[in-house]
Chains A and B, each alone.
Chain A
Amino acid sequence: MLEQKKLIVSHAPFWHSGSRVTERSYHTMLAALPAVIAGIVYYGVPVIGVISLSVASAMLWELAINKVMKKAPTIGDGSAALTGLLLAMLLPATMPWWAVVTGTFVAVVVGKQIFGGIGSNAFNPVALAVAIMMISWKDLFDFNGMLLNYDFNFTAVYPLTAVKNFGTSAIESFSVGDLMMGRQMGAIGSTFGLGLIIGGIYLMIRGFIRWEISLTFIAGVYLTALLFNIVDPVRFAGPGFHIFTGYTLVGAFFLATDDSSSPVWFVPMLVYGAAGGIMTVLIRNIGAYVDGVILAILVINLIHPLLDKIRPKALGKVV
């Protein structure tokens, strides 16, 4: 009986912890859901259209590029779907369909697949796509204009534009609690701060994102905003405002933590996150753009390989 059985020869180790790429993608999407659902509640049915189109087109672009490059389909790993979902979270609810499809094209094809697919992208694909769209179609990211036809039961103004143009007097009607609960204008999945924080904590505890990056990003935003606020409280908003408006939280938990474009060593992660937070507030307060998160993330993506050179000496390393 024993004779005919064929054994498999493989190499050590023969155990595996059981973690998978697919698991990471889907759990990240799960963590994003509270914020997405809040977006649907605040902005209604059009949001479902934008999200569905974004996720679907991102996956189709991935499949198409797989076919063109004659590679095995990789849409099963959930990475393209996650890219689509994150991109949709950064768009206004009334985004036209062609812009969504173009955005996912830039994210999946230009941002990720051209570099070699998952794990090889130098920049966060979503941040890259949003940056290119923001520069190409400025009006589509003017939230005041895009959400004009909505009737909100809170101050219908994009808080970051207001504070940039009119100083802190224009945002007195926003309390931090309101901002946290999503009672502000903004992108689909970036206004409900509490949901994003819950999702972020989930991801950090499960080990799907690296807590060092997220926490130092937020700390960077907080401290820099605090300093600006102390120097000139009339022009510059306080730290709470900066954390709960714009893309700060979605950036801290979902964009800056993208695996392949962020460092892995402890000190580099701290520097990376803090640099992102500081850059965000610098761009918002003294730069030309209303929200600095996207550009700050692209800048820290750029410096991440250099940062990762700061590492402890390996065991027995001579020199």
Chain B
Amino acid sequence: MLKKSFVGLFIPQFEYQLLPTRLPEPEKVTASKTVTLYHPKKSDQKAPSSLRVGNTVKTGQKISLYADDPAYVIASAGGTISAISPHTGDFGKTYSAVAIDIDKNKTLDDQFAAQCQSPTLANTLEYLAFTPGNPPLAMLAASENPVKTIVITGVDSDLLVGTRQYITKTRLADLKGGIKILKQISGVERVILVTARDALQGFGHIGADGKSIDTIYPAALPQMIMKNVLGEIVPAGKSCEDLGVCFMSVEAVVSIGSAYESGQIPVRKILTLITKQENQRIIETTIGTPIRDILSAYDVTINEADRIIFGGPMRGSAVYSLDQPVLPDTDAILVLDRAKAAYTSDYPCINCGNCVRACPAQIAVNMLVRLLEAGHYQEAADSYDLYSCIECGLCSYVCVSKIPIFQYIRLAKYELNRAKTAEATDA
């Protein structure tokens, strides 16, 4: 962890770590007994009807709990469904957690192979939305806001994470295939592959426009890529999709490529395990594997009040249970000793200005946080650039008073969005 240096005149800068040129094979970790899949669920949906506890599923089978809802998950391991329970994620997102007891006699589901001889947008949407990397296929299919550019991110947005870099370097054939299929099914001509500065070699034949970015955090966040690579600034309150740019993790493209190449829906996820000593290991595991299995495979001891984080140290989210499964977009698992984790305080802002100097979006964070602390979210959005925030977390990192500024910002955005949705439903 980077601490403030003795010379405090300059704000500390984080560098993304580059992986070495020679890469080992990912270490394989298998789920011991069960895998759990989070099926998206609207909060008003009742218990599922189409699938019951006790049903058997095959590896790669599509599980759709509600007939009227296009959401689905892909069974990452064959076996018997042992439980379906509600689960609430961050910011009130609701899921049905489908637990599958693994049956060792693996049978592979052949529905995808049978129905998808040639790639089309419809059948990718039908089968590949739950593959490793979570390809945002619905975005490509949305008709009201056509995608003009696809940006494939071969860089990890958070620190210490090496997953996407690793995949960019090791899965070139599938990446190339995936790009070809993407172009074909979406009709988008402009595909950009973003890599780290020194890693831009050997991507000439890949079918995408190779671009490299700076290695200083937060250069790999979508808004910064928009600004520095595409030369477009995302207006406050708009998203990259609104400008017709679709961001896709390199793993998602590789998943699409390998699915059509092999005729099997990929169910294994590459991720970075960051241990308490900040050692990184690239791991390959089945989607839905509980964290417990991964940690015990590496003899990571967990003490009371430690933290386990999905994602990196700056933007990740902490989980509360070792039973939490690996999700299709879990790029990293960070284990943090309680002595090393940052604690927040309820101390007031002393107006030291560190956040203002650290902010890559030039937001007057010192004023913003005063409004957010008081709950004046709308005013914060109107006068103090709440929606310009690119969510890098540097303000909280440098805060002398240890105010959870980043969390205040995310909460404010969430609350404003909720109010807006409620108004729209009322009207």
Indicate whether B366 reaches chain A with its CB closer than 8 angstroms.
yes
> A206 to B303, alpha carbons, bound, how many Å?
36
Would A7 and B350 count as touching, CB distance under 8 A? no
Would B348 and A9 count as touching, CB distance under 8 A? no
Q: How many residues of B contact A (CB 8 A)?
A: 80
In the complex, what residues of A have CB within 8 A of residue B402's CB?
16, 20
Least Cβ–Cβ distance between A189 and chain B, in angstroms: 23
What does the 1/0 interface line of B2-14 toward A look like (CB < 8 Å)? Answer: 1110111110100
Indicate whether A164 reaches chain B with its CB closer than 8 angstroms.
no
**A12-B316, A13-B393, A13-B406 known; A317 vs B388 contact (CB < 8 Å):** yes
In the complex, what residues of A have CB within 8 A of residue B8's CB?
19, 205-208
Residue of chain B at shortest CB distance from A3: B322
> A175 to B114, alpha carbons, bound, how many Å?
96
Tell me which of B7, B342, B354, B362 contacts A15 (CB under 8 A).
B342
Indicate whether B152 reaches chain A with its CB closer than 8 angstroms.
no
Indicate whether B314 reaches chain A with its CB closer than 8 angstroms.
yes
Least Cβ–Cβ distance between B296 and chain A, in angstroms: 7
In the complex, what residues of B have CB within 8 A of residue A315's CB?
223, 227, 233-234, 236, 360-363, 388, 390
What does the 1/0 interface line of A199-219 toward B look like (CB < 8 Å)? Answer: 000001111101100000000
In the complex, what residues of B have CB within 8 A of residue A19's CB?
4, 8, 354, 398, 400
Tell me which of A5, A18, A120, A317 contacts B304 (CB under 8 A).
A5
Would B352 and A24 count as touching, CB distance under 8 A? yes
In the complex, what residues of B have CB within 8 A of residue A20's CB?
400, 402
Least Cβ–Cβ distance between B277 and chain A, in angstroms: 15
In the complex, what residues of B have CB within 8 A of residue A77's CB?
347
Would A206 and B307 count as touching, CB distance under 8 A? no
> A315 to B313, alpha carbons, bound, how many Å?
24
Would B351 and A7 count as touching, CB distance under 8 A? no
> A17 to B402, alpha carbons, bound, how many Å?
9
In the complex, what residues of A have CB within 8 A of residue B364's CB?
264-265, 308, 311, 314
* Chain B contacts with A in 16-72, Cβ cutoff 8 A: none
Interface 9-residue window, one of A111-119, A128-136, A230-238:
A111-119
Consensus secondary structure, chain B interface: loop
Interface 9-residue window, one of B199-207, B265-273, B333-341:
B333-341
Least Cβ–Cβ distance between A76 and chain B, in angstroms: 11
Would B315 and A117 count as touching, CB distance under 8 A? no
In the complex, what residues of B have CB within 8 A of residue A15's CB?
1-2, 313-314, 342, 397
What does the 1/0 interface line of B304-320 toward A look like (CB < 8 Å)? Answer: 11111101011111111
> A316 to B387, alpha carbons, bound, how many Å?
9
Would B317 and A11 count as touching, CB distance under 8 A? yes
Would A9 and B397 count as touching, CB distance under 8 A? no
Would B7 and A11 count as touching, CB distance under 8 A? no
Would A311 and B362 count as touching, CB distance under 8 A? yes
> A3 to B362, alpha carbons, bound, how many Å?
45
Least Cβ–Cβ distance between B297 and chain A, in angstroms: 12
A contact residues, range = 35 or more
> A9 to B3, alpha carbons, bound, how many Å?
22
**A260-B351, A264-B351 known; A12 vs B398 contact (CB < 8 Å):** no
In the complex, what residues of B have CB within 8 A of residue A142's CB?
none
In the complex, what residues of B have CB within 8 A of residue A265's CB?
353, 356, 364
In the complex, what residues of B have CB within 8 A of residue A119's CB?
348-351, 401
Indicate whether A267 reaches chain B with its CB closer than 8 angstroms.
no
* Chain A contacts with B in 7-32, Cβ cutoff 8 A: 7-21, 24
* Chain B contacts with A in 381-408, Cβ cutoff 8 A: 385, 387-388, 390, 393-394, 396-402, 404, 406-407
Residue of chain B at shortest CB distance from A74: B347
Would B351 and A259 count as touching, CB distance under 8 A? yes
In the complex, what residues of A have CB within 8 A of residue B227's CB?
315
* Chain A contacts with B in 300-319, Cβ cutoff 8 A: 308, 311-318
Would B306 and A211 count as touching, CB distance under 8 A? no
> A265 to B353, alpha carbons, bound, how many Å?
8
> A17 to B367, alpha carbons, bound, how many Å?
21
**A2-B295, A8-B318, A12-B314 known; A316 vs B233 contact (CB < 8 Å):** yes
> A19 to B393, alpha carbons, bound, how many Å?
16
> A14 to B363, alpha carbons, bound, how many Å?
22
In the complex, what residues of A have CB within 8 A of residue B397's CB?
13, 15-17
In the complex, what residues of B have CB within 8 A of residue A14's CB?
307, 309, 313-314, 316, 318, 334, 336, 341-342
Indicate whether A138 reaches chain B with its CB closer than 8 angstroms.
no
Would B318 and A116 count as touching, CB distance under 8 A? no
Residue of chain A at shortest CB distance from B361: A315
> A308 to B351, alpha carbons, bound, how many Å?
12
Least Cβ–Cβ distance between B160 and chain A, in angstroms: 10
Indicate whether A70 reaches chain B with its CB closer than 8 angstroms.
no
Would B3 and A8 count as touching, CB distance under 8 A? no
In the complex, what residues of A have CB within 8 A of residue B319's CB?
7, 9
Given A5-B304, A207-B8, 7 other A-B residues pairs in contact with their CB atoms under 8 A: A5-B306, A10-B342, A11-B410, A15-B314, A16-B397, A265-B364, A314-B363
A-B contact pairs, 13 of them (CB 8 A): A2-B302, A6-B304, A7-B318, A11-B318, A11-B407, A11-B410, A12-B314, A14-B342, A15-B313, A19-B8, A259-B350, A265-B356, A317-B235
List chain B positions with a Cβ less than 8 A from chain A.
1-4, 6-10, 12, 223, 227, 233-236, 238, 292, 295-296, 302-309, 311, 313-322, 334, 336, 338, 341-344, 347-354, 356-357, 360-364, 366-367, 385, 387-388, 390, 393-394, 396-402, 404, 406-407, 410
